[in-house]
Amino acid sequence: MNLAGRGQDHRARGGNSAVTGKNEPVRFRFRRPQTSLLIASLIIACCLVGVGYAVSLSVTGKARLGLPATIEEIDPVREATQVPAQTQVFVDLKSGYTGVLVIDGLELQTVNLDDLRDPKNPGRQISVPPVTTYEAGNATLTFHPSDDAPIKEFTEGQHVVQVIFWKVTENRASARSYSWTFNVF
């Protein structure tokens, strides 16, 4: 075989020439893409973009509840389903706030637990009336349905709770409110 011929043949394909010892440029050839591989790659890319978009739109946890800044927690949570009939209604307000509960259009009397305590007998057991209790130290409102309470139990179906709240240093005229629903099974 002719060495010079082989070198030229090799140069035609690109690479190192055996005759001259110089590197020749390698020619790049475009290959036609496989249609099935291209379609599969396109579908995967669309799915990844869709998942990324959905995650960016998703709202979970406390943000999903849409609570005002002055309400830290509610129970039962907004739009809860499968709530037991004897569940309590609980609202945790920001420190320095007070309020009242309105359940299914009925405003419940609110009693401050500090007013029930006997300063002469600290630590003595107190009797809590069957109304909404406000605990100033935690700024919480709690209502437990009972036989003596205005609401004995929650009937099956949807119930609406509204908390009307205001700063302790202000009066009810400056109150704001927040409402939510829950479903009893």
The domain locations on the chain are: 3-57, 62-184
- 7-11, 79-83, 178-182: least confident range: 7-11
- From residue 121, how far is each of 16, 114, 125, 136 by CA, in Å? 101, 13, 9, 19
The pLDDT of residue 176 is above 60 = yes
Residue 91 or 127, more confident: 91
- Which three-class secondary structure string do you get for 20-41? CCCEECCCCCCCCCCHHHHHHH
Other beta carbons within 10 angstroms of residue 71's beta carbon come to 21
Check whether 4 has a pLDDT greater than 90: no
Whole-model pTM: value is: 0.67
- What's residue 43's pLDDT? 96
How far is residue 143's CA from residue 11's CA, in Å, rounded to a whole number? 90
pLDDT at residue 41 greater than cutoff 80: yes
Topology of domain 62-184, CATH:
Immunoglobulin-like (2.60.40)
pLDDT of residue 11: 47
Question: At 45, is the pLDDT very low, low, confident or very high (cuts 50, 70, 90)?
Answer: very high
Of 142, 139, 132, residue with least CA distance to 109: 132
